Structure 1
Amino acid sequence: MIALKLNHTKEFMSQMLLSDTFDNFLFIEGRIVTFNTFTIDGYIQKAFFESAEELPQYSSWKNVREYCFSLIKGKRTPLSFHFILCLSPKNTAFLIEENHLDFQPESVQGLYLNLKYDGSALTCITGTSLHIFTMDKSLEHAWDCYLQKFFSQKNISFDLA
């Protein structure tokens, strides 16, 4: 787990809300505080769909991005927000394979990205959750490195907090 201070909030939010930078991440939950507090659960309600057999457990960021943008846009900056995103199972399996880690993709509950804005600063905290107990931190370290490389490739400026 690492904490990153994102240096340019406006530029980051532009990438988050107006581009496809995070579209392949799953949306776990979000909370946006503007004139009201809006809480969004990313869990897909499969009963809503006629055919829900192949639906994932959570929505992709791509499917809720526009709605979140509609809550945030305007002349005033939100008082705060908190988004929890998760690396997709496909990309998790790729990360494990690419780093030659001794983990089965099914043993990983999630590789998380917690984005928190408190009205003045935007931080990102990584997290790892497994279905198994292990003292092996190689997946956690690989996820932390992956995220830092991802941010650098997307020209997202950050400092270790």
Structure 2
Amino acid sequence: MIALKLKNTKNFMTQLLLSDTFDNFLFIEGEVVTFNTFTIDGFIQKDFYEDSPEGDYASWKQLRELCFSIIKGKRTPLSFRFVFSLSPENTARLIEQKSLDFHVSDVQGLYLNIRFDGAGLQCVTGTSLKAFSMDKSLEREWDAMVPRFFDQKGLAFDLAE
């Protein structure tokens, strides 16, 4: 687990809400506090669809506009938090590229927790496996991948203490 403190909130929010930067992440849950508290569960209600979609969670792409409509306005939200997860396809790609001794079925999630507290924006990584393991290689690779991704997207940050 690492924590990244974003240096430019406006740039990050533009990429989060107005671009496809995070669209391939799964949206696990979120909460936005403005004049009300809006809580969003990313779990797909498959009974709603005629043809059941694959996977259990919606992508950020599917919920980005809704979240933007809640956040936008003249006033900054009091706070928000979003929990993203790397998709199973991208998790499998990471495992393969780094030759890790894991199967995608072993991984509950590789998480990115985004938190705004009214003053600053922070992203914290997290790794959850379906069974206990002393092997921390996947966690280390995920913790290394997120800063590279942010650098690649021009999202300036400091490692938080």
**TM-score, normalising length: structure 2:** 0.98
Cα deviation, residue 55, structure 1 = 2.1
Task: Say if 1:46 and 1:55, in contact at 8 Å, map to a contact too.
Answer: no
Task: Name the aligned partner's letter for residue 123 of structure 2.
Answer: C
Cα deviation, residue 133, structure 1 = 1.1
Mapping for residues 119-138 of structure 1, pairs under 5 Å = 119-138=118-137
The residue number in structure 2 matching 1:51 is 51
Distance 2:76 2:46 in 1: 34
Q: CA RMSD in A?
A: 0.6
The residue number in structure 1 matching 2:63 is 64
Q: Which runs of 4+ in 1 moved over 3 A?
A: none
Structure 2: gaps spanning 5 or more residues: none
Distance 2:89 2:106 in 1: 13
The residue number in structure 2 matching 1:19 is 19
Mapping for residues 1-161 of structure 1, pairs under 5 Å = 1-52=1-52, 54-161=53-160
Structure 1: gaps spanning 5 or more residues: none
Distance 2:159 2:119 in 1: 17
**TM-score, normalising length: structure 1:** 0.98
CA-to-aligned-CA distance 1:27-66 (integer Å, 9 cap, x gap):
00000000100000000000000111x4210000000000
Task: Say if 1:112 and 1:126, in contact at 8 Å, map to a contact too.
Answer: yes
Question: In percent, how many aligned pairs have the same letter?
Answer: 66
Aligned residue pair count: 160
Task: Name the aligned partner's letter for residue 144 of structure 1.
Answer: D
